[in-house]
Amino acid sequence: MAKRIDVSGLTAYYGSHKAIEDISMTVEPRSVTAFIGPSGCGKSTFLRTLNRMHEVTPGGRVEGKVLLDDENLYGAGVDPVSVRRTVGMVFQRPNPFPTMSIYENVVAGVRLNGGRLRKADLDALVERSLQGANLWKEVKDRLDKPGAGLSGGQQQRLCIARAIAVEPQVLLMDEPCSALDPISTLAIEDLIGELKERFTIVIVTHNMQQAARVSDRTAFFNLAGVGQPGKLVEIDDTQRIFSNPSVQATEDYISGRFG
């Protein structure tokens, strides 16, 4: 199920502005990789290049290669829509569809893609996905209620359930806990630990304790100055990054001596 991601020489632009430059890394399957770094260093942009969401922004374009188990996402003839079905994404702010119920939100990916499943199969999918997102117990009696009526943490788990319902290979998370309280954050972190058994997970976070808690490997991004493109400084095992990083800038950032 889970796939390996190999990025080589990736540069992304917004119009003429170069947002990230020459990034190469490998993301191992069935593991959690965390991206840390100061604001504006291109973590989110890089994450969005991994499922071709970057080009949704007007003027967004990419150079370089992203291999998903030997298949280049930016190769000729690759359909961005099918890339996004393989590489799912969870956003910073919980964004359930306001017109849909909890049930409809979970099956949105399947239904909107025109999939026709029998009612029993859909029910099973909803239960499986909500259980996968640790939300089933809380909402199983009110599946027909609007998804926007849940609390922030529940909404975010609903969004995770929605993302895993389409059975992606990779799950990208863009600061999934930054809008949540510590208890909801803990629930999501536990969930990430469970999900990595099945998916390749990449998570962007500003919270270094969180990166240390949930990830197997950590990548540190930095930028030389305002207006300069962001670059990958180093990527290593999380333990090493937080105890004995090989680059001085990483140590400065982690220990708070940055800038």
Partner 1 sequence: MSEAMMDQPVITDTPSGSAPLPRTSLHRPRLPRWAPYALAAGSAAAGSAVGLAAGLGSHVQWGLIAALLYVLSTLGVATRVEGLRQAKDRLATTLVWVCFLVAVVPLVSLVWETVSRGVKVLDGTFLSHSMAGVLTIQPGGGVYHAIIGTLEQVGIATAIAAPVGLLTAVYLVEYGRGRLARAVTFFVDVMTGIPSIVAGLFVLSFWILMLDFGYSGLAGSMALAILMMPVVVRSTEEMLKLVPNELREASLALGVPKWRTILKVVLPTAIGGIATGVMLAVARIAGESAPIVLLVFGSQVINNNPFEGAQSSLPYYIYEQWAAGNEASYDRAWAAALVLIAFVMILNLVARGIARWKAPKTSR
The residues binding partner 1 (CB under 8 A) are: 51, 53, 56, 58, 81-86, 88-89, 91, 93, 95, 97-99, 108-109, 111-114, 145-146, 148-149, 159, 162-163, 166
- Return the number of the residue (64 or 109) whose C-beta is nearest partner 1: 109
- Return the number of the residue (19 or 254) whose C-beta is nearest partner 1: 19
- Return the number of the residue (99 or 244) whose C-beta is nearest partner 1: 99
d(CA 30, CA 196): 5
CB of 97 to partner 1, least distance (A): 6
CB of 255 to partner 1, least distance (A): 34
d(CA 104, CA 110): 10
**Burial state string for 164-193 with b = 16 or more CB within 10 A and e = fewer than 16:** bbbbbbbbbbbbbbebbeeebbebbbebbe
Q: Which ranges of the chain would DSSP assign to H, the alpha helix? A: 43-49, 80-86, 102-112, 119-132, 136-139, 152-165, 182-195, 208-214, 238-243, 248-254
Helix (H) or strand (E) holding 63: strand 60-68
CB 233 within 8 A of CB 247: yes
CB of 178 to partner 1, least distance (A): 14
CB of 113 to partner 1, least distance (A): 6
CB of 32 to partner 1, least distance (A): 19
- Return the number of the residue (51 or 250) whose C-beta is nearest partner 1: 51
CB of 213 to partner 1, least distance (A): 25
- Return the number of the residue (145 or 257) whose C-beta is nearest partner 1: 145
Closest to 12 in 3D by CA, of 69, 38, 51, 39: 51
**Other beta carbons less than 10 A from residue 126's beta carbon:** 23
- Return the number of the residue (10 or 173) whose C-beta is nearest partner 1: 173
